[in-house]
Amino acid sequence: MNITSAEILAVFAPQGLVKEMVGPDQPVRRIAAIEECAPGDLVFVDKADFVALVRERRPAVAVTSFKLRGHFAECADVTLLLAPNVNLAQALIKQRYAGRQFDAADWPQVHPSAVIHATAMLTATTVVEPRAVIGRNVRLGERTRIMAGAVVEHDAQVGSDTVVHPNAVIGYQCTVGNEAVIGAGAVVGSEGYGFAQDQQGRSHPIPQTGNVTLGDRVRVGANCCIDRAAYRTTRIGAGTKLDNLCHIAHNVEIGEDCLLTSMFCVAGSTTIGNRVMTSGQTGVSDHVKICDNVVLVHRAGVTADIDQPGTYAGLPVQPFKDYMRNTAVFRMLADLRQRVLAVERRNDAAGRGLTSG
């Protein structure tokens, strides 16, 4: 790495990401974790607890908040870059200077072992790694990378600056936007789960002939499955991020900038709004509508519409404050039962006394 703190300020100050530099311009040799940093490194410090490590290990540059500026009084040799949002600064600075270098794999731009249909349209900057398969009428955008063993089936479209990781599948007629990431082993456009039963209880598949559309900047984690719609489109909006091991059923529509963590599972024909966040193992039933700005936690199970923004938990879900109160009561149920039984016994004894008198 060959950058300086002043260069970082010059790049990110116009965006408001870094507002001020305190200390001399210093060269940066790498971006490091605070716990293992050394002289010449750049670190990100968003908690006062980490300042002691900076004092001890003496990195060259610390990106920190205005609130923590005074904690660095004993670190005169450490240049500070002051940021309103340290975590966002970490994301964008590390993306620019220390993200994964895909070219380090050192494959030819289009590997000779890749299978590419004659009608597929690649740009001069598209990269196709070993044993990838590109189907009929596929369109791949500028600087898009299809990694080893990935499959893009016929009539699919993938935008620019998108990465499809090893062994992922983009199903036929599906669309992926720009700057998207499709994780290893993920399937976009798997067969939707639709069956009809006859009188003997045997199940007969209903062909799922729709597609999947992913907006720009969507991230699909490793081993996710996104089912194609029965007739129209399963849709995920721009900026939404799926963790590993999520399942999105057929005909689902998910809005923009959602954060859906591992083992999130949503059943068919459900609509989820913008900026919805979930913790691990959240489940959503079919034909449900969830409004914008909802947070689902503690393995929430959504079985009915949510039409008010807020935080929800439990099965079935309830507002988080109610859930916490009810959980506290639930923990005392055994004790409450014993107390109720004791009251009943006293009442019975009193009743028998009145009868005998």
For 260-321, give the secondary structure using H, E and C.
ECCCCEECCCCEECCCCEECCCCEECCCCEECCCEEEECCCEECCCECCCEEEECCCCEEHH
Positions of the chain with pLDDT lower than 70, given as ranges: 351-357
Distance between CA atoms of residues 284 and 270, nearest Å? 8
Placement of tokens 């490590």 in the chain: 53
Placement of tokens 């006394």 in the chain: 353
pLDDT at 332: 73
* HEC letters along 207-234: CCCCEEEECCCCEECCCCEEECCCCCEE
pLDDT at 348: 77
pTM of the full predicted structure? Answer: 0.87
pLDDT at 355: 64
pLDDT at 25: 96
Residue 182 · residue 148 · CB < 8 Å: no
Residues with a known catalytic role: 250
Residue 272 · residue 258 · CB < 8 Å: yes
pLDDT at 354: 64
Encoded amino acid at 73, one letter: A
Residue 128 φ/ψ, nearest 5 degrees: -130, 115
Angle, in degrees to the nearest 10, between helices 5-12 and 86-98 = 110
Which domains are seen in the chain, by residue range?
3-99 (3.40.1390.10), 107-322 (2.160.10.10)
pLDDT at 353: 67
221-233 per-position pLDDT tens digit: 999 999 999 999 9
pLDDT at 300: 95
